[in-house]
Structures are given as C-alpha cells and as structure tokens.
Structure 1
Amino acid sequence: MSRFSPFSRPSAPGFARPVAELLSRAEALAPLRAGVEQMTAMRRDLAALLPDYLATSVEPGFIKDGKLALFTAHNALAARLRQLEPRLVADLQARGWPLDSVRIRVRPQSVKEAKPPKEARMSPAGAAALRALSEELPPSPLQEALAKMAARHSSKR
C-alpha cells in the first residue's frame, strides 16, 4: 500500500514545472525572476508595436542607462529598425518603459545545417509506367521530363 494518494503527482527529478514556479520558490532568484518578467513584457510590447516580419526577428535585451538593446539577425533588419527607432521609442515610452533611446545590434545567428537532398524512391513498376507514358506522348517538354524521370529511377534499381 502506498502512502501517497493515487491522485497526487510525485515530484520526480524529470517532472517538468513552469519556470515561474521554480523562480518564485527561492528569494535569491528574485532578481532573475524580475528580469524574466521584464523581458517577457518587453517582447510582448515589441510584438504589438513592430510589423510581423520584424517582431519575429528582433530579440530585446535589457534597459541600461535608459538605452534598450535590440538584437537582430542581420543588417537589413537593423537598417529597417533604425528607420522605425523614433516612433518605437515614443511608443514604448507611452507604454511606461523608462528608456531614452534604442541600441540596435546585429547578432548573427548560427548557420543552420543544410537539409539533405530529397531522395525520392519509385518502384520499378512506377518507373516502367512513366517510361511507357513518355513513349506514347508526342515530343514536348512534358515528354522529355517524364523520360528523364523514368531513366533516373530505372538506373537506381
């Protein structure tokens, strides 16, 4: 017989908890919790103020000496942000953010690994059907494409 209720969930090391719950437990983590809440609120406000293509590509930093750091993935986004800077600062101030200006920094993101090329596989019966169809068609770009496809898939077998 277990001393735990069958409806209770034991606190196992792999049990997932919301970050806010973990940060609220220890007083030593209070500054970190405040920083996380500030970043979340700033991200929400930027998403509301910026166009969609910019909002998804801009990461806010912290406000230091009245300057908000904004990080972008490349120079084109940084240039567009610089054009919007005066309006963005005014809108953020209107929402209660204590800032005077914005520092826009380019933070290149790591290069994503290239996806491997697709390797379509066709059964021998499918390749034979394509070959037969290409032989029945009059000369045309479609006929050439079908013949190439049939030859490519026939040679792999």
Structure 2
Amino acid sequence: MHRRFKPQTVLEASDASPTLAGLVARARDASERLKAVETLIPADMRAAVKAGPAEEDVWCLLVQGSAAAAKLRQLTPALVTRLNAKGWNVSSIRIKVQARH
C-alpha cells in the first residue's frame, strides 16, 4: 500500500503546525533584526555574522572568528540602540563565536 503525499512548502507546513509556525516566526524575526543592523557592521565582516535566537530582551549573534567577535562587541551599543529605535525591546546582545568546520 503506497500513500501519496502532496508536497508542501515550508510555509504551508508551518500553517498546519503551531510548533513549526513558531520556529518560522522566530527565524524571520532574527533575520529582520540582522537586516536592521546590517549597515552598522563593516561590509567585510557581514558574511561572518549570522542571526541567532532572541530570548526576551537578549538577542544572540553567531560570529565566525574571534577577531570579528571582538569588533562586534565594540559595536554592540550601537546595535542595541538601532534595534530599540526600530521597535525591538533589546537590552543586550550576546555574541557567540562559531567553530570553523
């Protein structure tokens, strides 16, 4: 007995699953936050910075390399100010250095 499943997009599947819908919303929020502060990050560093999750008033940025993380830590006050001006309630940004593969 073979079942045929109708292929679904991620958005269609997320509409049918509250858990998946929550994950999609969190990913979209993180992406929008990064877009809001992107111009504050030096152009040559942008590829090394990825949006991480937000929990309450703390947002996480994932960074490749300790040098980029150090520079990003210097920019944190400006990033927080920009995010708050754009309507997000952010009190701090956590920087996590990702290991290179």
TM class by shorter chain equals 0.7 to 0.9
TM-score normalised by length of structure 1: 0.53
Deviating more after overlay: 85-94 vs 19-28: 19-28
Deviations 1:106-152 (A, max 9, x none): 11121xxxxxxxxxxxxxxxxxxxxxxxxxxxxxxxxxxxxxxxxxx
Amino acid paired to 1:46: V
RMSD: 2.2
Within the candidate set 43, 50, 60, 1:52 is matched to 43
User: Larger Rg: 1 or 2?
Assistant: 1
Contact 1:46–1:55, Cα closer than 8 Å, also in 2: no
Aligned identity (percent) is 30
Deviations 1:1-21 (A, max 9, x none): xxxxxxxxxx867x5x54223
Partner of 1:63, secondary structure, is: strand
Deviating more after overlay: 56-65 vs 89-98: 56-65
Per the alignment, do residues 35 and 80 of structure 1 end up closer, same or farther by CA in structure 2, a change over 3 Å counting? same
Matches within 5 A, 1:1-157: 18-110=9-101
State the distance in 1 between where 2:70 and 2:33 align. Answer: 21
Contact 2:30–2:54, Cα closer than 8 Å, also in 1: no
State the distance in 2 between where 1:52 and 1:69 align. Answer: 20
**Equivalent residue, structure 2, for 1:139:** none
Could you list the runs of 5+ residues in structure 1 that have no partner in the other structure?
Answer: 1-10, 111-157
Contact 1:24–1:33, Cα closer than 8 Å, also in 2: no
State the distance in 1 between where 2:75 and 2:63 align. Answer: 14
Q: Which has the higher contact order (CA 8 A, sep 6+)?
A: 2
TM-score normalised by length of structure 2: 0.78
Partner of 1:98, secondary structure, is: coil
